[in-house]
Amino acid sequence: MYLTLLVVTNPVLASNNRGENEGNLQTLQKVRTREGMRTVLSGYAIKRAIRDAMQANGAKMWRRSVDPDQVNRAGYIYGENDSPTLAGAEPKAPEGYDDVVFGYMSAPKGKAEDAVKRAGCVEVSAALSTTPYDGDMAFVQGLKAATPDLAPFSHERHYTRYQFTLTMNLGDLAGQPTSLPYLLDSLRFLRVGGSHASNASELSPAVLAWRFHKAPGRGGLHLGAGLDFLPDESVDLTPLRTRCVDLGLDLNVAGQGADMTIAKALDAIKERAEGLSC
């Protein structure tokens, strides 16, 4: 059994989901569509944000986020101990930890026979802006790290909602009873945008749509396409409902413009998932 979630976020000012820098201009990641240029948040960034939110809410994490330092530039601690390196990390195979749902690979250097790995059972799509990007920019003056000199630069910014999807294999999640509740609750506290907290975008959901389905091929990753939600207006869910009916999909919808709050929707999903024979 599979669970697919479609998230439409509250409005955010995206300014730190960067593509390549061009001179002193920090650019947003973008994709060209028939409806115009859309900005994008990568699925990897959202998955990292889910990890961080699960950890902050008390999930048992084998790979925990820490402040990057000279020893561990990736900003992670592995295993039960507080060593910032992989050396001596236990357990080698992180079964029983909530972040095992994202998959893992432990490959000791020079010991290929000791490598262990597991595919993840949660897929996260890229987040696509619900409105076209019209080239808005801002001029900023920052300080260089090593000197008191000013470092003027510009960055692209986009005030919009984003939409993205998650698809979960509930059969693989069955052995991790606490992982799904932690993962679902994390959706209310996502912050994407790198290490600069002042520029982080909060991807809290305004609308949540979900469906349980047996076949993985029709997970619903295409449902967000063509749904234009202006940031400051109420979200009209009629196009989403109509499209689901046309596709023969049995979707439940909660959030802005619906009868159920996001919190109650997440509780309903947890209850339904617990009652399923995965």
> What local confidence, expressed as pLDDT, does residue 197 receive?
46
Q: Where are the domains of the chain?
A: 2-61+97-275
User: Is 156 within 8 Å of 27 (Cβ atoms)?
Assistant: yes
> What local confidence, expressed as pLDDT, does residue 96 receive?
80
> What local confidence, expressed as pLDDT, does residue 141 receive?
66
Whether 181 has a pLDDT exceeding 80, the answer reads yes
Q: What pTM was estimated for this model as a whole?
A: 0.84
> What local confidence, expressed as pLDDT, does residue 53 receive?
92
The predicted model gives 179-193 an average pLDDT of: 90
Note if the bond before 91 is cis, omega within 30 degrees.
yes
pLDDT digits (tens, 9 = 90+) for 58-67: 998 888 777 6
Contacts of 131 (CB under 8 A, 6+ apart): 38, 160, 161, 228, 229, 230, 231
CA angle 11, 13, 14 (to 5 degrees): 115
Task: Supply 196's token pair.
Answer: 């600069």
Whether 52 has a pLDDT exceeding 50, the answer reads yes
Mean pLDDT of the chain: 78
The predicted model gives 93-122 an average pLDDT of: 77
Among 15-24, 98-107, 132-141, 210-219, name the one with the lowest average pLDDT.
15-24
The predicted model gives 176-204 an average pLDDT of: 79
Give the C-alpha separation, 75 to 7, whole Å. 28
Give the C-alpha separation, 192 to 46, whole Å. 7
pLDDT digits (tens, 9 = 90+) for 4-27: 999 999 998 887 665 555 667 777
